[in-house]
Structure 1
C-alpha cells in the first residue's frame, strides 16, 4: 500500500525520485520497498552519493577486486555504471507505464569536465553506451560549457538530466539548449518521443547562502525574509517552464512527438532545522515536476507533509515580491546564483577527488 502523503503528491503531478543509490539498496530490497510503499519512481545520483556508497567495503569489496587491474577512473565507471544499470532494470516497468517520463536513473559525467564542452559530449555518449539502458539519464551541469554539450547530447537522441541550475537566466538558456537539441534531432530524423530531459533547479542552497547574508544584516526586515528565497526562485522557474513550453517553437516540436523538459526540484533537504522538514516539497507542488529527495526528506514527507495541490501556478507576483524585497536589502541575486554555480561544481569536484583517492587505495589493497 502506498503512503497517503506520497500518493497525494504523486496525484498532484509530482514525480518522486530518490536522491540516493547504492548496491546495498538494490540487493537488500530497500529501493524496491520505497517504490512500493512511498511512490518512488526514479533515482538521481551524483559524485557525493557514489563516494558515500563505495566507502562500504563489505558491499563493494568483491566488485573492487574484480577491477584491480584497471585504472581508478575505469574502475569507478564500471562499478557505478553497473549499479545504475541494475537500478534501471528495477525501474523498467515504471518507465514503460509512464511512456518514458519516469522510471529514470541518472548518472553524472565527471565533474572535472564541467567547463570542457567537447569532453563532456564524449563522456556523455560513453556513459550512455556503458549503462546501455534506455531509461538512463545522463547528468550534465548547466555551466556555460555545459549548454552546448546538452544540445549535442540531446541531438544524438540521449536523454539528459541538466544539473546545478540556480538562476532563472541560466534556466532559460538550458531550455533553449534542449530545444536546439530537439530541432537537430528532428533534422536527423530521430524519434523525438524517445528523448526526455529534466532541468534540476537547486533550492535549499539558495536559502542557505541568502539567509547567511540576511543574518549578517540583522534588521527585523532582513530577518523576516529568511527561508523564502529558495521557494520563490523555484516558483519563478516554474513560470519560465510554463511560458517556454507554451511557445509556438515548442508546439512545432511537440507536433513531431517532442516532450517537455520537466523542472526537477533538487537540493530539497532542509539545511536549517528551524524550517519545516518538508518545506521544499509542500511549497513546490505543481504538475509536470519532479522532486528528488534524500531519504530523510522522503520519510518526513510520508510522515507529516500536507499536500495542498498546485501551490505554484499563480504565485508568481508573490515570488517576485520576495526577490524585490531581497534586492531592497542589498542582496545581489545575480552574484549569489553565480557563486552557487561555482561552489556547486567545486563541491562535486571535491567529492569526485575523494572518490578517486578512496578507490585508488582500495584497488591497491585488492591486488
Structure 2
C-alpha cells in the first residue's frame, strides 16, 4: 500500500477520519499507528461499534467491575462510551495540538434521549470524556438546531448531522453562527469550539436508488450517481457564500473558525473492492472524509485524484437536481424522510447497546 495518494489527498486540504474504531484497536496501538503512518487525523464513533465489540478483551475487566458494583446498564453504557472516546481523543491529541485545534477530533453519539433532554445528555458526555477534541453529535432536523446553538454557546464542539440537502445546510450554518455569537457574549474562546456538518453521501446514494426502484424505473444511472456530487457542490457553494458574509467576518475577528463539511457513508463495495468515488470525487480545501479501514486502503491504493472537484461547479449541480425532480423524485421529500429515519435509528442503536450491556453484565454477576 502506497501512502503517496493519501499525502496528495491531504495536500488538497482533505482530512481523513476513521469510522468504526474499536477499543481493541485503541488499546493495541493499531489506531495510533494509522494516525502516525496513514494520515488519519480524526475518528467517528458510533453506539453500534461499541455494542458489537463488547465481547472483546478490552472490555472484560471493566464489565466485571461494573457488574460487581451493581451499576445499572444505562450508566454502564455511558461509562463504556466515555472511556472509548477518551482513548481515541488521547491518540489524536498530538494531531489536535499540531493543527492548533482545527483537526484531531473525535465525533461521538450521546445516548438517545427525548429532545428536551438532548442538551443535558450532550453536556454530560462532554464532561465525562473531558477532552478538548471531542465533538458531540446532534441531529440537523429543524427542531434540533436550537440544541446545536445551545451546546456551542456552552463551548461544546458539535458534529451536526446528518445533512442531506443544501437548504438544510444553510439552516445548520445559521445555528452555528447563532451558537458562536452566544458563546462570544458568554466570554468563551471561539477558537476552542470546533464543529463539522456531516453529509452521509453513501446513504443518500442508496436512498436515491431505492426511490427509483419504487417508481419502477431505473432512472439514468449517471444522473443518479451525480446527485450526491450535486448536493456536495451546492453545499460547498453555500459554505463559500456564508463565510464571506459580514456576520462571519465579525465572528472570525473574535477567533472563530469555519464549521467544516464532513462527507460520510463512503463505504461502497463493488466487484473490484471498495469504491473510492465518495472520497476522491469530493475534494476541496478544508473538507473531511470519514472512511472505513477498507476504504482507506482502497484510497491509498487506487484513488483517482483530480484536484478540487467542488468549487465553482454549482450551475451543473443545480441542473442535476432540477432533472431529478423532472423524473419524479423529490430531493426535499427524500431528505426529510432520511432525517426521520436517522432519529429512529438513533433509538434503535442505543436500545441495542443497552441490551448488549445488560447481557454482558448478567453474565458476570
- Name the counterpart of 1:50: 50
- Name the counterpart of 1:34: 34
Q: Any runs of at least 4 consecutive aligned residues in structure 1 with deviations exceeding 3 A, and if so which?
A: 215-224, 271-276
Q: Which runs of 5+ in 1 are unaligned?
A: none
Partners of 1:147 and 1:287 lie apart in 2 by: 26
Partners of 1:223 and 1:153 lie apart in 2 by: 41
8 Å Cα contact 1:2/1:38 also seen in 2: no
**2:122 corresponds to which of 78, 99, 124:** 124
- Offset of residue 348 of structure 1: 2.5
8 Å Cα contact 1:2/1:37 also seen in 2: no
SS in 1 for 2:308: coil
Kindly indicate whether residue 60 of structure 2 is the aligned counterpart of residue 61 of structure 1. yes
Alpha carbons of structure 1 residues 220 and 59: separation in structure 2 relative to 1, 3 Å: closer
CA displacement, residues 307-344 of structure 1 (integer Å, 9 cap, x when unaligned) = 22111102211211211111110111111001111112
Alpha carbons of structure 1 residues 304 and 271: separation in structure 2 relative to 1, 3 Å: closer
- Offset of residue 276 of structure 1: 6.9
Alpha carbons of structure 1 residues 66 and 163: separation in structure 2 relative to 1, 3 Å: farther
SS in 2 for 1:165: coil
Alpha carbons of structure 1 residues 2 and 148: separation in structure 2 relative to 1, 3 Å: farther
8 Å Cα contact 1:48/1:348 also seen in 2: no
Alpha carbons of structure 1 residues 349 and 28: separation in structure 2 relative to 1, 3 Å: same
8 Å Cα contact 1:19/1:295 also seen in 2: yes
- Name the counterpart of 1:343: 341
Partners of 2:286 and 2:50 lie apart in 1 by: 28
Partners of 1:217 and 1:275 lie apart in 2 by: 29
Aligned residue pairs total 363
8 Å Cα contact 1:204/1:271 also seen in 2: no
SS in 2 for 1:42: strand
Alpha carbons of structure 1 residues 289 and 253: separation in structure 2 relative to 1, 3 Å: same
- Offset of residue 119 of structure 1: 0.9
- Name the counterpart of 2:79: 78
- Name the counterpart of 2:179: 181
- Offset of residue 140 of structure 1: 1.1
RMSD: 1.9
Alpha carbons of structure 1 residues 275 and 236: separation in structure 2 relative to 1, 3 Å: farther
8 Å Cα contact 1:21/1:53 also seen in 2: no
- Offset of residue 72 of structure 1: 0.8
Partners of 1:95 and 1:357 lie apart in 2 by: 34
- Name the counterpart of 2:90: 89
- Offset of residue 224 of structure 1: 4.1
CA displacement, residues 287-321 of structure 1 (integer Å, 9 cap, x when unaligned) = 01111111121111111102221111022112112
Alpha carbons of structure 1 residues 7 and 73: separation in structure 2 relative to 1, 3 Å: same
Q: What TM-score do you get using the length of structure 1 for normalisation? A: 0.94
CA displacement, residues 262-290 of structure 1 (integer Å, 9 cap, x when unaligned) = 11111111266699700100110000111
- Name the counterpart of 2:11: 11
Partners of 2:64 and 2:274 lie apart in 1 by: 44
Structure 1 window deviating more from structure 2 (357-366 vs 45-54): it is 45-54
